[in-house]
Amino acid sequence: MRRFFKKLTLALTLIGLASPAFAVPVLRQNIVVNAAIVTIGDMFDNAGNLAEQALFLAPAPGTTGQVNIAAIRTATGKAGLSKFENPGFSNVSVARSGIAIKSSDINELIAQDLREQGILRNGMSVTTQLNQRLGTLYAARSGPPLKLEQLIYTPGNTGFSARFTLAGRNQALEISGRLSFMVQTPHLTRTLPAGAIIKPTDVEMRAVTLQFANSAQLPMLNQVVGQQLRRQMRRGVAVRLNDITMPTLISRNEIVTIYLKSGAMTLTVKGQALADASRGQAVSVLNLLSKTVIQGIAVNPGTVEIRSGSNQLAAL
């Protein structure tokens, strides 16, 4: 019976020593944290109930610092950890993870702000050219890593300045530089002759600088499709406003129908167009019966309307 109690006592002792409740915290040599505070659980294995207890501030996001053993003992003593195992380290490396901030992140936030102001419209894009080299920047892994606090830009100029805040950093990021605006404009996908009507498949959108688009009077896509070319144009050339016109409905010397509608009465007569005309454009027509010249409006192919109230009724 005495031998049994001895074995039982030994077994309970071994179980107690193996229990986590009796494990001594063991110091780590290299740790990586995400938060702004280093805790006992970060610094030690087997931290137990003290794992969430704060020890000291973590380094800035994306950086690494060294903490000597004396500073660790002072901090753990204040936090309530009086004993721990040190495998023989004189310093502990503490690294804080972070999110790398790229120039494209800055560019996108500036573009978003310009869209909200109505400066950056559909079909436009913007790129930033900074006056200073940023180097490698890191933000904490908490909340938005980068936030635009202020953007100073006057439309029509290229210069700008901006202030950003980075998560986990107290100091704001101040930058300045130039903005380059690009806009998508129609370019021909094939060579077209003069008089061709431009179809959607005849054009593709390419980016050019906004300054060039304005100076060259380059139109938007909806201003080009369905229009008629004034001259032959080669594949790949940007279409300009003075290259296009409304499609010709009536050609010079074409025999047309002239009509006047007033109430229930409609009068029609044949005539000969004296000039080309697009839809809605005024055109002079020779009445083939009376041999008088009438002013009308091109409304459809081969059709000219004399508007009601016109004093040219007698010429019909």
- Say if CB 168 and CB 36 are below 8 A apart: yes
Positive/negative CA dihedral, 76, 77, 79, 82? positive
Q: In angstroms, how far is the first alpha carbon of the chain from the final one? A: 138
- Say if CB 35 and CB 53 are below 8 A apart: no
Average pLDDT, the chain: 89
- Say if CB 96 and CB 59 are below 8 A apart: yes
* pLDDT per residue as tens digits for the range 136-178: 899 998 889 999 999 999 988 889 999 999 999 888 999 999 9
2-97 with 248-315: one CATH topology?
no
- Alpha-carbon distance of 14 to 295, in angstroms, equals 115
What mean pLDDT comes out for the span 34-61?
94
Supply the CATH classification number for the domain 2-97: 2.60.480
Any idea what DSSP says for residue 242? Answer: G
> What's residue 315's pLDDT?
56
> What's residue 4's pLDDT?
44
**Proportion of the chain above pLDDT 70, given as a percent:** 90
* pLDDT per residue as tens digits for the range 180-239: 999 999 999 999 999 999 999 999 999 999 999 999 999 999 999 999 999 999 999 999
Q: What is 184-245's CATH number, 3.30.70.20, 3.30.230.10, 3.40.50.720, 3.90.1210.10? A: 3.90.1210.10
pLDDT band at 134 (very low <50, low <70, confident <90, very high): confident
pLDDT band at 3 (very low <50, low <70, confident <90, very high): low
Residue ranges covered by each domain of the chain? 2-97, 101-182, 184-245, 248-315
Tell me the residue type at 47: A
Residues 6+ apart with CB under 8 A from 206: 184, 185, 187, 238
- Alpha-carbon distance of 273 to 257, in angstroms, equals 10
CATH 3.30.530.20 fits 248-315, yes or no: no
- Say if CB 132 and CB 123 are below 8 A apart: no
Residue 310 has pLDDT above 60, yes or no: no
> What's residue 10's pLDDT?
46
Q: Is 297 exposed, middle or buried (0-12, 13-18, 19+ CB in 10 A)?
A: middle
- Alpha-carbon distance of 114 to 128, in angstroms, equals 12
